[in-house]
Structure 1
């Protein structure tokens, strides 16, 4: 495993982060989830990402139990706040001071931890003044409940504004967690340049496009049994947008590139995101332990310029690059 600094800080994270969106508390049983976490640890993964909204708080509990007994100082634990949780009351969502202060306490209880290393705003809250949000985050940090602050799916302007307020308040906003993969590159034109300028790194989710970049989905063939695309409770809707013949035919042409490098297609996809020097870590989930064992091997893989050019020749014309696709709800979800 290789490690990178997160933002302009002295804090290092593993190049592959284990994320438990969809899987823990919903798609896989708790014992399998624990096996996946332990496989990640065995592969050298030290960074673990979750959120209070995942499985309506159950994912945090599963992760906390799976990490029980590990040396806390050797782990980097991330969670997030914004989306509705619990009974979904009128204050059970958003980035108000009330919700942030209550949400961090709930997250720590479920994780069985005294603090999280990184506490992230899961989206931008248009209905709460940014000053209120950042002051609440500053208080969370000063109370020792979080060490660093991050955001997720914020625009370049939002990241700049949040970073400036955090600096004024004496805390460190060091990361953004956006979607990023060979087919989804909307952060490249605005978010990444702004982040480089102010010292913020990306922790990217969906590096293998919900499994599509593994090559397991074939044009003109039935969906594989047990795959995410067939699991209505496990993210099928998120996969469907990628499953068109043009995408699948192009993705099939990535296989010779992966073979030349002695990589799986999933490893190639993860390594591609890590080739961007503003990406500190790629989030990888798993429904089986062998998946994280294999995908973690993408850490440390260096893709040369000619390989990146070959990949662009195959799928670059299909990539979504419109920066306006980075967005948060205009109104808090209920």
Structure 2
């Protein structure tokens, strides 16, 4: 076993994929129990963390459970084993098992939960249904002309300048920078106490806000100046790569009943609760894993023929109002394939310890 692989290595990798800053305010994604410096013995991937899942981890020799849903959503004041949450936490701590949750941050990335649903039902031309604002920053900096290439290349490599599928995006303009180094400086260009003029390139780039510290460190390391001039501004722009729900198209329109039958098969469903079917074929489809009724207005606005989600309340079905078909497929059923998604991502990176797909059934609902 490679002793260098610790829990923090796995969580860091997951958070590069689904940054914790993308989780919703009510959520509790991240490490819930455990020590980040612990060496990985094995990983158990599950949708929910329960007492039975912890027991499965013990039996399988896994000391890290990665769950989609957090076992803790809010603070607790006692650990007495009075309910399943407390019992699960106590059992995990007793057996030195770490629990990590990757929840709404994974819902909100464009390669996350909703992308998995879109893939399962065969959608193409997929995009975020409700993109998030306030997740982007803009960097402006000034670089001596002869160093512009190497500095911008370093910033690109650190995650700046990507807009959708376009990488290495920036706006650059030429100008003249002026400065006068004082006696306390050690200027890379120019001399102390002499006014200096340098041909510079003004570079502007967009980057994800959570990368701010990394980008600044990269800029300062790559830039030749002792003192680097830069501006960082938050942007109100919607981030097309981050947000809730997804929408896409079937390659061939389908009759409504045929589509629902296909949906039951592709998502392995027992039952679908739905509103009235449209008098036309279905092609444009909106999805949201888990409780997504709040996105119904967005799905209607986007022109979706059907909205696939879960946990729709009785009166919320009326809100379809003949404009769209709502298909409630169940919370567990809409997200159970998230286990495959997490497993696939981990398997691409880590090969020196076991990564096990949980066999424990955690769906709290049954059908007859």
What is the TM-score with the length of structure 2 in the denominator? 0.24
Which has the larger share of helix?
1
Q: Which has the larger radius of gyration?
A: 2
Which has the larger share of strand?
2
Larger relative contact order (C-alpha < 8 A, sep ≥ 6)? 1
